[in-house]
Chains A and B, each alone.
Chain A
Amino acid sequence: MAATQEEIVEGLAEIVNEIAGIPVEDVQLDKSFTDDLDVDSLSMVEVVVAAEERFDVKIPDEDVKNLKTVGDATGYILKHQA
């Protein structure tokens, strides 16, 4: 079953917490991965890979650079999830 926006943010928060050690409550829609959450370009690849598994989506490399904020990623997953 497709995940809701709320579930996606929650899932992303857990993933970012696991990979970058950021508290889950800091992961909000308007937060930028690199500027606010200490997720650098390589951690972002790990976040994407984890999100692909969790939400059953494919996020190709060329799309990753457009996912600047948690909101961007959430929107992308909402639209593309199987």
Chain B
Amino acid sequence: MSKIKPSKGAPYARILGVGGYRPIRVVPNEVILETIDSSDEWIRSRSGIETRHWAGPDETVAAMSIEASGKAIADAGIDAEQIGAVVVSTVSHFSQTPAVATEIADKLGTNKAAAFDISAGCAGFGYGLTLAKGMVVEGSAEYVLVIGVERLSDLTDLEDRATAFLFGDGAGAVVVGPSQEPAIGPTVWGSEGDKSETIKQTIPWDRFHFGDRAELPLDSQGNVKFPAITQEGQAVFRWAVFEMAKVAQQALDAAGISADDLDVFIPHQANVRIIDSMVKTLKLPEHVTVARDIRTTGNTSAASIPLAMERLLATGEAKSGDTALVIGFGAGLVYAATVVTLP
């Protein structure tokens, strides 16, 4: 048997830079109230959301990703050519083939970096980060770009009271690269496919186009409703506050970090009430900075954690070198939590 030479990676991996892109158009709750029977007060108290950003025609999934990535690459202090792989997590890129990651890798000026998309809903950032860490340590890429990007406004039914106010658009990116010290802890992740019905697309694309009209939901004009994300809000809320606090605790334990050691908590920005409940359950001390970017960003799924991370660093609420717990959770249901050193 011939001997195969193994690849050689870095001892550890770390996040070296972060960047975000928020669409220009800011949408206040008043706009949401044009299509659903609700109130600004209800939306704020049940979700924490005051405004969100919705992308315009030119703010495509690729364009937003390129903006966010450019900032992350600059923040990391490397050149795009050094990037060996581009991982894009999204559920709202409407062309399934080819992956949007290849266009992004090309337009950023990488040198033929490996590029692919993943689908892991609101846990997508943690899934991508875990892959990136593996690649850096194993040696298949020295630097990996991880992007979370969504145009959820395209998948929002503005007449659905349970979701119309919830979603936003944007892109967040990080560069993961070599480190001499551990700076990304063990990932606690998993899926609960028995709850796949609790967050899903209303109808699959093939049924939207070819399904029997009589069995499809119609809008007020009598057209088949464009597919949208729907959810069983209470079931998801219950799962998030109860089960995800446990996963977050497991990630802390796995990294050997106590709540007292922690500087920053960046949960997926799904609902401020979920965030507040987790903070309570995890008994996070006062000194821990908690991301509540949802107020002005809404739920941007895979983009929410890097967007919140970028904002905390930009405002000075968090600083480079801080220890942060990140946890994503959502459609699948899927989840991923880990402890990282902030770039």
Q: Which residues of A contact B (CB under 8 A)?
A: 40-42, 45-46, 48-49, 61, 64
Give the distance in Å from the alpha carbon of A41 to the alpha carbon of B242 in the complex. 16
Given contacts A46-B241, A49-B241, contact A41 B234 (CB under 8 A): yes
Q: List 21 A-B contacts (CB under 8 A).
A: A40-B45, A40-B46, A41-B46, A41-B234, A42-B46, A42-B234, A42-B237, A42-B273, A45-B234, A45-B237, A45-B238, A45-B241, A46-B241, A46-B277, A48-B238, A49-B241, A49-B242, A61-B232, A61-B235, A61-B238, A64-B234
A18 to chain B: closest residue by CB: B280
From B45, B46, B238, B273, contact of A49 by CB (8 A): B238
> Chain B nearest CB: distance from A38 CB in Å?
11
Residues of A within 8 Å of B235, CB to CB, are 61
Interface positions of B from 13 to 49, Cβ below 8 Å from A: 45-46
Residues of A within 8 Å of B273, CB to CB, are 42
Residues of B within 8 Å of A61, CB to CB, are 232, 234-235, 238
Q: Which residues of B contact A (CB under 8 A)?
A: 45-46, 232, 234-235, 237-238, 241-242, 273, 277
The 5 closest A-B pairs by CB, nearest first: A49-B242, A42-B273, A45-B238, A45-B237, A61-B234
> Chain B nearest CB: distance from A57 CB in Å?
14
> Chain B nearest CB: distance from A42 CB in Å?
5
> Chain A nearest CB: distance from B333 CB in Å?
15
Residues of B within 8 Å of A40, CB to CB, are 45-46
Residues of A within 8 Å of B238, CB to CB, are 45, 48-49, 61
> Chain B nearest CB: distance from A49 CB in Å?
5
Residues of B within 8 Å of A49, CB to CB, are 238, 241-242
Give the distance in Å from the alpha carbon of A61 to the alpha carbon of B277 in the complex. 18
Give the distance in Å from the alpha carbon of A49 to the alpha carbon of B242 in the complex. 7
> Chain A nearest CB: distance from B84 CB in Å?
44
A50 to chain B: closest residue by CB: B242
Residues of A within 8 Å of B237, CB to CB, are 42, 45
Residues of B within 8 Å of A64, CB to CB, are 234
Give the distance in Å from the alpha carbon of A61 to the alpha carbon of B198 in the complex. 12
Give the distance in Å from the alpha carbon of A40 to the alpha carbon of B235 in the complex. 15
Give the distance in Å from the alpha carbon of A46 to the alpha carbon of B46 in the complex. 13
Residues of B within 8 Å of A41, CB to CB, are 46, 234
Give the distance in Å from the alpha carbon of A48 to the alpha carbon of B242 in the complex. 11
Residues of B within 8 Å of A46, CB to CB, are 241, 277
Residues of A within 8 Å of B232, CB to CB, are 61
A59 to chain B: closest residue by CB: B238
Give the distance in Å from the alpha carbon of A46 to the alpha carbon of B241 in the complex. 8
A49 to chain B: closest residue by CB: B242
A44 to chain B: closest residue by CB: B234
> Chain A nearest CB: distance from B267 CB in Å?
16
> Chain A nearest CB: distance from B94 CB in Å?
32
Among the interface residues B46, B238, B273, which one has the most CB atoms of the partner chain A within 10 A? B238
Give the distance in Å from the alpha carbon of A40 to the alpha carbon of B273 in the complex. 11
